[in-house]
Amino acid sequence: MPLIRCHVMKMRSLIDTHAHLSDLEDMEDVVQRAKQAGVDAIVAVGANLRTCETTIRWAEAFTDYVFPALGVHPTEWAEDDIPVTLRYMEAHLDGCVAVGEIGLDYWNREARKSEEIRERQRSLYIQQLEMAAEHGKPVSVHGRGSWRDALNLARQHGPESVVFHWYSGPLDILEELLDAGYLISATPAAEFSRDHRKALEKAPLERILMETDSPVYLRNRDRTSEPADLVITLKALAKLKDASEEEVAKVTTRTAETFFGLYSGQ
Ligand SMILES: [Zn+2]
């Protein structure tokens, strides 16, 4: 049975559009706290074979709440696992809402030292962009230290719908990606990261998704995040945009539902 079914009738209030649920523990509690915080859906992303499999398992366990995305992350792959992970993605993608987390990471310690690794990242990224385009799925892109190449390759090989997750790159590249019709996402780092905040100030609210990237370390709170922390993103973005939290929730949720095809088609 496909994981995405067409009975999502009510308007959601908040959607965490990028969380690594496979790296969290006590999922029942995590989901409970997210619901209490007003999070009505979570897009769970994969990063390698193990996390892709777990992502599918959580999506099956929390139907209509956890929506799966599958991908090989630029710094979390093991060469031996790649063929089987890509086959796993092919086999499960039609039941997923996106391909992700995929992309490039030139800040990664190994990638900095090795052009060969950067080239391997690019070829994996291209392969997955093409897979997404073939299956008609949007992609969630990681582009740390590599925003220029991440954008250019998405344009050349990717589907129409691309979100540059946690964008914190140069503003001229941001302008280009917005011109290309792509989105960026806001994370709890909207509270403290200068480059991330500058990008969020510049991008129109209609082109921003909200997420937590759980379980990322929140350095200003000295703990890791979970989907309930989407309210941190919401409050920070509302402040940056000088808008009410209700307005920011409404606009970003509508964008997320359209981007991931979560509508009921009503
Ligand atoms: Zn991530």
Among 232, 153, 237, residue whose Cα is nearest residue 199: 237
Q: Give pLDDT < 50 ranges for the chain.
A: 1-9, 265-266
Query: 23 CA to middle of ligand 1, Å?
Result: 11
Query: 20 CA to middle of ligand 1, Å?
Result: 6
pLDDT at 265: 43
Query: 187 CA to middle of ligand 1, Å?
Result: 10
Query: 266 CA to middle of ligand 1, Å?
Result: 31
pLDDT at 58: 96
| H helices present in the chain, as ranges | 27-36, 49-61, 82-92, 109-113, 115-135, 147-157, 171-179, 194-202, 230-241, 245-260
Query: 204 CA to middle of ligand 1, Å?
Result: 22
Q: How far apart are CA 37 and CA 255, in angstroms?
A: 20
pLDDT at 11: 58
pLDDT at 193: 96
Query: 263 CA to middle of ligand 1, Å?
Result: 24
Q: Which amino acid is residue 213, in one-letter code?
A: D
Query: 211 CA to middle of ligand 1, Å?
Result: 9
Taking residue 109's Cβ as centre, other Cβ atoms within 10 Å add up to 10
Q: pTM for the full model?
A: 0.93
Query: 41 CA to middle of ligand 1, Å?
Result: 17
pLDDT at 78: 83
Query: 156 CA to middle of ligand 1, Å?
Result: 23
Q: How far apart are CA 230 and CA 216, in angstroms?
A: 12
Neighbours of ion ligand 1 (CB under 5 A): 101, 213
Q: Which amino acid is residue 232, in one-letter code?
A: I
Taking residue 153's Cβ as centre, other Cβ atoms within 10 Å add up to 20
